[in-house]
Amino acid sequence: MNTYFLKRILYVIPITLAVSFFCFSLVHLSPGDPMDAVVSPDAPSEVVAMVQRAYGFDRPLPEQFGLWVSRAVQGDLGMSAANGRAVTTEVFGALKNTLLLAIAASMIGFSLGCTFGVLAGYYQGSLLDRLVTGFAVGGVSVPHYWLGMLLVIIFSVELNWLPSSGAGPGSSSDWNFEWSYLRHLILPAVTLSVIPMGVVTRTVRAMVADVLAHEFVEALRAKGLAERRIFLHVIKNVAPTALAVMGLQLGYLLGGSILVETVFSWPGTGLLLNNAIFQRDLPILQGTILILALFFVALNLMVDLIQARLDPRIQRG
Amino acid sequence: MTSTSIDVASKVEAPSIAPSRGYWGPVFRRLSRDPVALIAGIILLCILAMALFSPWLAPMDPYKTSMINRLQPIGTPGHWLGTDELGRDMLSRLIYGARLSLLIGVMPIVNAFVIGSAIGIVAGFVGGKTNTVCMRIIDVFYAFPAVLLAIALAGALGAGIVNSLFSLTVVFIPPIARVAESVTTQVRSVDYIEAARASGAGSLKIIRCHVLGNVLSPIFVYATSLVSVSMILASGLSFLGLGARPPMPEWGLMLNTLRDAIYVNPWITILPGVMIFTVSICFNTLSDGLRSAMDVKL
């Protein structure tokens, strides 16, 4: 374990604290008393005082933050103001569905992105390159919530092939690996995969083109190495950056699926967050954002560590 | 969601040309030889004109409802692009929608460009502790995916255009500041800055005369590449009901209110999205063109 790895791991601590502080202050950013969401405005003052004590709102802010963090560490993020259920239960239940969607979308997006990127990088300037590049620009520019609606119109309304909403038959939110469930996953996953596809294509294309322009490739060719072996050298050079980009994209999918989940009524964290915003359910809002952000921090850490492992130059800074 | 350049934005070569009179000439000449970027620019100008002159261009009042003419299909005489769920003329609403949609999509980038550049340039130029403190605070914002941060802020602050502008500005300050800091750090150690300091120039003068000219164009190019994301996010916030309020004509909001009509008249409902997509793809293409025309490597 060298200093780079140690430093990078230790750096997570202040970031985690700062992220928690941000989520904590979200409640205080919102207009009105945070109490308003918990008790009705015409509740008797004893009730208000009691709830205030229970939630700790009667103490000074730094103390409230400390209390909140110490509870959060023990896995208690409070109760939903809307239905009284534990925030952690709600969020982790939804996170499962979001993860499923994000992983499906990233598998589609990454495999297409890598293939397109390598092809376009190899045949730079060709018609294929132009087609792929145009496709990728479209992928990063498309408002995905709109693309979702478009796919629903084509495949659900006009052709009636695939369901337009929900995660399974009926209104069930538990998932099984059966065709009746998989059908529900197709449209949201394809919709969500378009952005990572575009981003990965653009990155891989640029990287492949860059590596191919290096002199060592020429030297390998001159040496008489088969094109297939040269390809391996190219991949080795592209992999660290490509992996880093893909890791981050996976994180963006987790946090960014809210719009697509809303379009498809997919019972994940995005839909949970959306409902929480409109019911002014601040504990859920706070909890969902905290957990998603911590997930993202952990993912970032993993990406950095893997990248440094693959590319020792990074460790030397 | 956000383009990769946010994260791979560390390697920036300081451009060698200072913005004198002769700077923009070659840039425009190179840009005009790039037909794709040129077309994107022209389309954007048309949409801008649409926004500016909407009262003259729109055939009808975008707020006038008509219960008997609801959800008319595309091609209806008098309503060439049909009508929405309250019988309002789609064409007029799309034209008027350009005003608000462009405003809430572009303004956050303009704000973030000014604030982010200022933070980044000062941090990069002063260096030392100031730099560390600024950049560590910025790092915290990187712990959130952009969409999540925007929705968290807008959701906590409540719906409204001002809140949505504010949230998006906060989202885009960190990436711009990071780029500004890295370009400035590189420029700071260049010999002529040393020479200027040796001949007695103050920090402010050095920043104004020598640093700004060298760092603004890469930061500007980077900022233009963010406009498309900002457009999508701004309309996305409205789509969620966190931005513009009905009955305002705004593309994202129009998509949201038309969603219920998806089984009645599906093709009308996608029109506002076509507009968002067009603007977004044009900004991306123009930004790519600008990047190669200005010879900026980000």
Closest CA to A251 of B186, B212, B84, B147: B147
Percent of all residues in chain B with a pLDDT value above 90, rounded to a whole number = 28
A317 touches chain B (CB under 8 A): no
Three-state SS annotation for chain A: CCHHHHHHHHCHHHHHHHHHHHHHHHHHHCCCCHHHHCCCCCCCHHHHHHHHHHHCCCCCHHHHHHHHHHHHHCCCCCECCCCCCEHHHHHHHHHHHHHHHHHHHHHHHHHHHHHHHHHHHHCCCCHHHHHHHHHHHHHHHCCHHHHHHHHHHHHHHHCCCCCCCCCCCCCCCCCCCCHHHHHHHHHHHHHHHHHHHHHHHHHHHHHHHHHHCCHHHHHHHHCCCCHHHHHHHHHHHHHHHHHHHHHHHHHHHHHHCHHHHHHHCCCCHHHHHHHHHHCCCHHHHHHHHHHHHHHHHHHHHHHHHHHHHHCHHHHHC
Q: Given this model, what pLDDT does residue B1 score?
A: 40
Reply yes or no on whether the pLDDT at B15 is more than 70.
Answer: no
DSSP, collapsed to helix, strand or coil, labels residue B89 as: strand
Question: Who has greater pLDDT, A317 or A40?
Answer: A40
Q: Given this model, what pLDDT does residue B232 score?
A: 92
Q: Which of A31, A138, A256 sits opposite B1 (nearest CB)?
A: A256
**What is the average pLDDT across A192-206?**
91
Q: Given this model, what pLDDT does residue B200 score?
A: 83
Reply yes or no on whether the pLDDT at B14 is more than 80.
Answer: no
Q: Given this model, what pLDDT does residue B223 score?
A: 92
Among A12-21, B6-15, B184-193, name the one with the lowest average pLDDT: B6-15
A278 touches chain B (CB under 8 A): yes
Q: Which residues of A touch B139 (CB under 8 A)?
A: 15
Reply yes or no on whether the pLDDT at B8 is more than 50.
Answer: no
Residue B287 and residue B224 in contact, taking contact as beta carbons nearer than 8 Å: yes
Cα separation of B17 and A132, whole Å?
33
Q: Which residues of A touch B267 (CB under 8 A)?
A: 153
Reply yes or no on whether the pLDDT at A24 is more than 90.
Answer: no
Cα separation of A195 and B228, whole Å?
13
Tens-digit pLDDT profile for residues A82-126: 677 788 888 888 888 889 899 999 999 999 999 999 999 888 888
Contact assignment for A255 to B242 by CB distance below 8 Å = no
**What is the average pLDDT across B158-170?**
91
Tens-digit pLDDT profile for residues B228-253: 999 999 999 999 888 888 888 889 88
**What is the average pLDDT across A30-47?**
68
Q: Which of B143, B147, B155 sits opposite A15 (nearest CB)?
A: B143
| Mean pLDDT of all residues belonging to chain A | 83
Q: Which of A143, A157, A297 sits opposite B236 (nearest CB)?
A: A143
Residue B213 β-bridge partners: none
What residue type is B255 in one-letter code?
A: L
Q: What is the CA radius of gyration of chain B?
A: 22
What is residue B76's DSSP assignment? B
Reply yes or no on whether the pLDDT at B3 is more than 50.
Answer: no
Contact assignment for B140 to A18 by CB distance below 8 Å = yes
Contact assignment for B273 to A19 by CB distance below 8 Å = no
| Mean pLDDT of all residues belonging to chain B | 84
Closest CA to A261 of B87, B236, B66: B236
* Torsions phi, psi for B297 (to 5 deg): -110, 115
Q: Which residues of B touch A251 (CB under 8 A)?
A: 145
Reply yes or no on whether the pLDDT at B78 is more than 80.
Answer: no
Q: What is the pTM of this model?
A: 0.85
Reply yes or no on whether the pLDDT at B289 is more than 50.
Answer: yes
DSSP, collapsed to helix, strand or coil, labels residue B218 as: helix
Cα separation of A176 and B95, whole Å?
46
Cα separation of B112 and B119, whole Å?
10
In this structure, the number of other CB atoms found within 10 A of the CB of residue A131 comes to 13
Q: How confident is the model at residue A41 (pLDDT cuts 50, 70, 90)?
A: low
What residue type is A303 in one-letter code?
A: V
Q: Given this model, what pLDDT does residue B171 score?
A: 93
Q: Given this model, what pLDDT does residue B11 score?
A: 46
Tens-digit pLDDT profile for residues A131-185: 998 889 898 899 988 999 899 888 888 887 877 777 766 655 566 667 767 788 8
Residues 3..62 of A with a Cβ closer than 8 Å to B: which?
14-15, 18-19, 22-23, 26-27, 29-31
Q: Which residues of A touch B276 (CB under 8 A)?
A: 143, 146
Whether the bond between B15 and the residue before it is cis, its omega within 30 degrees of 0, is no
Percent of all residues in chain B with a pLDDT value above 70, rounded to a whole number = 92
Q: How confident is the model at residue A47 (pLDDT cuts 50, 70, 90)?
A: confident
Closest CA to B186 of B26, B296, B290, B287: B296
Tens-digit pLDDT profile for residues B101-156: 999 999 999 999 999 999 999 998 888 888 888 888 888 888 888 888 898 888 88
**What is the average pLDDT across B61-75?**
77
Tens-digit pLDDT profile for residues A242-273: 888 898 888 888 877 888 988 888 888 888 88
The chain B residue lying nearest A194, using CA atoms, is B1
Q: Given this model, what pLDDT does residue A186 score?
A: 86
Q: How confident is the model at residue B71 (pLDDT cuts 50, 70, 90)?
A: confident
